[in-house]
Structure 1
Amino acid sequence: MDSLEQLNQRLRESVRCEGGYAPVPGEGNPHSPVVLIGHSPSGSDVQTGRPYSGPAGELLEELLAEAGIERSELYITNLVKCWTWKEENGLRVNRIPSAKEIKDWVPAWLRPELELIKPRAIVCLGGPTAQHFLGKGFKITLQGGQWLELPEDSPYLKLTGHHFDPRPFVMGIAQPNYLTHLQEHAPESYPAARSNLVADLLKVRRALEGKLPEAQPPEQGELDIPF
């Protein structure tokens, strides 16, 4: 099996994305017990070649710092390594990956990443990523910030056949750009949402220190946020 560095180098050399963009590999501490996973790189990320760079990355680093975490302590990656974009008013803007894109990318690239890192905890940035690991019933507004057991019928496990040993805990949290959305559209909700996200990251810090809690039982509900 490739090392993580070899895997990411092979990705850079062998894949070109729609629009001629280069793929964006994961980066960070290959020995970290915690992996942060988003759904796909942004337009800023394809310019820098780094996941969660640009404005979203700057905000993520601010939030991590408030929780006492250095970005270098973590490994950060995405379900899909190509920028998934759509055209709006003549501009290319971010979009959520399609089911086919996830099906093509996750077994080929995310599975070997996670097999090499062997994380004890996975933090899913945004609802689409969390649902890929925890199932369509997962709702960030109800279960966000909770350590949950990776279910037997996890879409990720069904797609990849990956057998974790031990099976990691999984937490879904809002993406940093959710806070940017609130600043623009509901500024009165921003301070509490930011505090809640930092509180979630404090749980991640404890996981980095080896203090994983018992997993919480899943809840069901209908409300959610689209990030």
Structure 2
Amino acid sequence: MSTSANDAGPFVPEKADLAGLREAAAGCRGCALYEDATQTVFGDGGAGARLVMVGEQPGDQEDRKGEPFVGPAGRLLDRALEEAGIERGDAYLTNAVKHFKFTRREGKRRIHQKPGVTEMAACRPWLVAELRLIGPDVIVALGATAGRALLGSAFRVTKQRGVPLPCPPYDRLGTAAEGDEANGRIVATVHPSSVLRSDDRDAAYAGLLSDLKVAAGLLGRP
């Protein structure tokens, strides 16, 4: 039986470091997704990261291993980061939603399901806590779901990708009015998993790489 109230806020400890947040997130019951997922998949990286990359949610392999971006999409992202001149170790990787949402097919096969607005809102306190601790110069939104989690429902990755956008105040992520601004910029791009699904992977990858180079430029990388 679910004990969630669709709000992770009560599970987020005050004055915790990233290790403390990660430990607390393991017991999060802020939405019903925890019931079927193997475990919480929290962010990975250091508090000194100048770049935070926000994806949608963990996938099947991430859910099993407990780490973000360790499946095929993560390996493609590693390649793109390297080509863009960004060390993965210099970035903090996380997701807008920390539990894997899926449906089962053919018995045991788990098929990704897009998280809903309620689940994104429920999990937002974890993302806010991560960003407050890190205070990145640049946030990369990987895909439409991450973009909407950061910039609100009007965000469209097809129209706003690759363009530096002002980051809303962290406590107004996803709901901030136009013109609100915190330190740092957001650069949106496609999720690397969409590159793997594309009919023209070379073109899709080139677009991802181009957007990541914009983020690299904001960090002062050539």
Q: TM-score range by the shorter chain?
A: 0.7 to 0.9
Residues 19-72 of structure 1: per-residue CA shift (max 9 Å, x gap): 251101100132112110011111110122111111111111011111122211
State the partner residue of 1:167: 183
Q: What's the TM-score, normalizing by structure 2? A: 0.81
SS in 1 for 2:155: coil
Question: Aligned to 1:11, which of 21, 25, 35?
Answer: 25
Task: Assess if the C-alpha contact under 8 Å between 2:137 and 2:219 holds in 1.
Answer: no
- Separation in structure 2 between the aligned mates of residue 110 and residue 40 of structure 1, nearest angstrom: 12
Task: Assess if the C-alpha contact under 8 Å between 1:33 and 1:207 holds in 2.
Answer: no
Residues 153-205 of structure 1: per-residue CA shift (max 9 Å, x gap): x962549xxxx9843211110011111111xxx2xx32222112111111222
State the partner residue of 1:203: 214
Task: Assess if the C-alpha contact under 8 Å between 1:127 and 1:174 holds in 2.
Answer: yes
1:66-215 superposed matches below 5 A? 66-90=83-107, 91-107=109-125, 109-150=126-167, 156=173, 158=175, 166-182=182-198, 186=199, 189-209=200-220
Report the RMSD for the aligned CA atoms in angstroms.
2.4
Aligned residues: 199
State the partner residue of 2:5: none
Percent identity (aligned): 31
Residues 89-115 of structure 1: per-residue CA shift (max 9 Å, x gap): 4332111111111121112x1111111
SS in 2 for 1:171: strand
- Alpha-carbon offset, residue 139 of structure 1: 2.0
Q: What's the TM-score, normalizing by structure 1? A: 0.79
Aligned AA (1:171) = V
